[in-house]
Amino acid sequence: MSESAEERGAGLLRSRGMRVTRPRLAVLDVLAGGGHLEVDEIATAVRARLDSVSTQAVYDVLGALSRAGLARRIEPAGSPARFEARTGDNHHHVVCRACGAIDDVDCVHGSAPCLDPTGTHGFVVDEAEVTFWGLCPACLARKADD
């Protein structure tokens, strides 16, 4: 018998010492669908699962999930914060300058961090965040048509 999404979510929350709540389960389920979602997108999808939840409650859940390592917050320059379920692997992102589409870029060196700084000023570095910028295939095609 396969485990339900709710059971998986509850197990993840408990594994991090977190209380299991309906909003947390709903947000985890939305993030499990993939992508790099804005808070409003997440809140809309959560409201489709639960009758009522405030945007502030979604922010609170996302903050708690991020601190627990169950969600990752990314914030490309000039864009609102986005959240994803892919965590702990030190992957990077590519962002379209025209439409803002975001996709994952795996770590090219295979270990965290992918980049070694020349000086850490006493910090213990465990992650490198790199954002690649360019045009996505759809925007590149539109540009070629113009």
Q: What is the CATH classification number for the domain harbouring 57?
A: 1.10.10.10
Q: Which domain holds residue 121?
A: 90-145
Q: What is the mean pLDDT of the chain?
A: 90
The verdict on residue 81 lying in a domain is no
At 26-80, the pLDDT tens digits run 999 999 999 999 999 999 999 999 988 999 999 999 999 999 999 999 999 988 9
Pairing of strands 72-74, 92-96: unpaired
DSSP 52: -
At 81-134, the pLDDT tens digits run 999 999 988 789 999 999 999 999 987 665 666 777 788 899 988 778 889 999
Nearest to 103 by CA among 112, 93, 91, 113: 93
The verdict on residue 40 lying in a domain is yes
Domain closes at, from 21, 43, 74: 74
Strand order in 92-96's β-sheet? 102-105, 92-96, 131-134
pTM: 0.86
